[in-house]
Amino acid sequence: MRWLCLFVAGVALAQTSPPVAPTPDKSVPDKPVHAPTAAELMRASIEKQRAAVRKQAESSGATLIPWSPSQPLSAGAAAPVCDPIATDVVTPLIESAAKSNDLQVALVRAVIEQESGYRPCAVSPKGAQGLMQLMPDTAGQLNVKDAFDPKENIAAGSKYLKQLLDKYKGDYKLALAAYNAGPAAVDAANGVPDIAETRDYVDAIQKKIK
C-alpha cells in the first residue's frame, strides 16, 4: 500500500511541477544577425528624406510635381530619387534667402535648377547634398544641421554664394566657377578653370539670369 501512495504522490508532483526549459544545443551556432549594407542604409535614408519632403509640402498645402528628364542636372549628379519640390513651396524659401544675402532671386533659382533640378534629396557622387548641392565641409562651416532640409539648404547655399561674390568682388563668372569647382581651382587658374563641366555650368547659369 505504501508503494501505491508514493506512486500517486509522484504522479501529482510531476503534473504540478513547471516544465524545464531544454538546454540549448551549443553545437549548433546561432543564426548570424544580418548587418545592413551601405546601399541599404542609403536607400533607407533616401526614403526618410523623401517622406520628410512630402510631409513639408502637404503641411504647406502644396503637392510635389513629377520629375521631368528635361530638367537640368549638375554633371555627375545621382539619378533622381525624389520628386522636385513644388514651385509654390520653394519660391518663398528662395526669395527669403536671396533677400537676406542681397542676391538676385533669379541667381539663386538658377543655381538650384542647375545643381539639383529642385530635388531636395539629390546627392552627387562627390557627396554634395540637397537643393544647392552643399559639400559636407561647406555645410559644416555654415553650421548646417540638415543639408536635406530645403529651407536650411537654400539659406546656407545662398550665404555661401554671397561669400564667393564678395571674395571675387562681384564677378559672377568667378563666383559661379568657385561654387562649382571650388575657390582653390579658380585661384590657381586666376580665372574660370579650364574644366568643361565648370565652363558649361557658368555659361548655363549666366544664360538663365540674363
Residues catalogued as catalytic: 115
Q: 190's torsion region: left (phi>0), alpha (psi -120 to 50) or beta? A: left
The C-alpha cell at 69 is 528628364
Beta bridge partners of 129: 123, 134
Distance CA 53, CA 2 (A): 81
Residue 134 CB neighbour total at 10 angstroms: 24
Sign of CA dihedral 50, 55, 60, 61: positive
